[in-house]
C-alpha cells in the first residue's frame, strides 16, 4: 500500500515575448494556437526594466521569446528579468527562445585578456533560472556546450534552401563560402541543392574592425549563378566584397542567403550598391528602422520555431525536424 495523494498533472504551455520583436512571437503564437501571456513591461526614467506577467504561470512549461537586435544589452536584460520572474512565480520549466543568440561571435579568445562573452550570456541565463535554450544557426557550434542544460540548435537551411531550389531551379548554381570558416555550411548547402562548391580566400586586417581584403576564388564560377551563404549579414562588408570578386571572375549572377539580417551601419548602402540580384534572409531579427533594401527577401522562421517549441513541449524530437541531422 502506497502513501501520499496522487493528482492529475496535465502540462500547460505558455508563450511569453519581450519587446524587441513581438511580431515574430505573435506569428509563432498564431501558428501554435497558443495566445501570448499578457505582460506589463516598461522602462523607468533611469532605464531600469520592470516586467510583470498578468496571469498565473505556476507549474507551466514557459517559453520566453526574445530577438536580440540593437540595443542588444537592453533586450538581454529584459529576457533575464522575464526568466527570473517566471522562476520566482513557480514556472515548472523555462525555455529561453533566442532566435539570434547574443554575443555569439565572442565564442573564444583570439588574444590575451579578452572575454568569452557567449559563455557569459549562457551563464547569465542559467543563473536567472533558464532550464533550456533554443536558438537558430549559432555562429559557432561549441556555444551549445556553454550552457549547462539542453540546447536546441535549429537550422534555417531547410527554409532558405527550399526557396532557392524553387526560384532558381533552372539555373546552374555554385554555392560559395565567403571565407574558410563557412565551408562546412556551404558544404551542407551543396548537398541540399546538388550543386558544386567554391570558396573565397580572404584576409582580415587585425588592426581594422569590419574591413576585409578579398584575395582569390577557389572553384569554377564562370557563367554560373553564385550563391553566397553565411549565418549573418552585419555590416555586409565581407559578403559585398565577395560578390564583387565573383563578378570579376565571370559569375553570371550573384545571390546571397543568410539566416540573421543584423544589417548594422553601412549594410543597406553596401547591399544596394552591390551586384547582388537578391539577398535572402529570415526574420530571426526585425529589419532595422529606416533600412530600405529593395533586393532583400525575408522568409519567416516562425513555422520552424513553432514546430520546435511543440516538440519540446510534447517531449518529442527536435532532431526529427531536420531528418535526424541536427
**Active-site residue numbers?**
202
Rounded Cα gap, residues 4 and 183, in angstroms: 58
DSSP-derived secondary structure letter, 189 = H
Dump strand ranges (E) for the chain.
13-17, 39-43, 49-53, 61-65, 93-98, 132-136, 151-154, 173-177, 196-204, 212-218, 225-233, 253-261, 278-282, 296-299
Task: Point out which residues pair with 256 in neighbouring strands.
Answer: 228, 279
CA 184 to chain centroid = 17
Of 67, 57, 60, nearest to 26 (Cα)?
67
Asked if 20 contacts 66 with a C-beta cutoff of 8 angstroms, the reply is: yes
Amino acid at each position: 500500500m502506497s502513501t501520499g495523494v496522487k493528482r492529475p498533472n496535465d502540462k500547460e504551455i505558455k508563450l511569453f515575448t519581450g519587446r524587441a520583436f513581438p511580431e515574430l512571437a505573435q506569428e509563432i503564437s498564431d501558428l501554435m494556437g497558443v495566445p501570448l501571456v499578457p505582460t506589463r513591461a516598461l522602462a523607468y526614467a533611469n532605464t531600469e526594466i520592470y516586467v510583470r506577467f498578468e496571469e498565473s504561470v505556476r507549474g507551466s512549461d514557459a517559453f520566453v521569446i526574445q530577438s536580440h537586435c540593437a540595443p542588444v544589452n537592453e533586450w538581454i536584460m529584459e529576457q533575464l528579468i522575464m526568466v527570473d520572474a517566471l522562476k520566482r512565480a513557480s514556472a515548472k520549466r523555462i525555455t529561453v527562445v533566442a532566435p539570434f543568440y547574443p554575443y555569439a561571435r565572442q565564442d573564444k579568445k583570439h588574444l590575451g585578456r579578452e572575454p568569452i562573452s557567449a559563455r557569459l550570456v549562457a551563464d547569465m541565463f542559467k543563473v536567472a533560472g533558464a532550464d533550456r535554450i533554443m536558438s537558430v544557426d549559432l555562429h559557432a557550434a561549441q556555444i551549445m556546450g556553454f550552457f549547462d542544460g539542453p540546447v536546441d540548435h535549429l537550422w534555417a537551411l531547410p527554409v532558405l534552401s527550399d526557396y532557392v531550389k524553387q526560384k532558381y531551379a533552372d539555373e546552374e548554381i555554385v554555392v560559395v563560402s565567403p571565407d574558410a570558416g563557412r565551408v562546412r555550411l556551404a558544404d551542407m548547402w551543396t548537398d541540399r541543392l546538388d550543386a558544386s562548391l567554391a570558396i573565397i580566400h580572404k584576409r582580415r586586417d587585425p588592426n581594422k574592425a569590419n574591413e576585409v581584403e578579398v584575395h582569390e576564388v577557389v572553384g569554377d564560377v564562370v557563367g554560373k549563378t553564385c550563391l553566397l551563404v553565411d549565418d549573418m549579414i552585419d555590416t555586409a562588408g565581407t559578403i559585398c566584397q565577395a560578390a564583387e570578386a565573383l563578378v570579376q571572375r565571370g559569375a553570371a549572377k550573384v545571390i546571397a542567403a543568410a539566416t540573421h539580417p543584423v544589417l548594422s551601419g553601412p549594410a543597406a548602402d553596401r547591399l544596394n550598391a552591390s551586384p547582388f540580384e537578391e539577398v535572402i534572409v529570415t526574420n530571426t531579427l526585425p529589419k532595422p528602422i529606416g533600412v530600405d533594401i529593395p533586393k532583400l527577401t525575408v522568409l519567416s522562421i516562425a513555422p520552424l520555431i513553432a514546430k520546435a517549441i511543440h516538440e519540446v513541449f510534447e517531449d518529442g524530437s527536435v532532431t526529427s525536424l531536420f531528418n535526424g541531422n541536427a
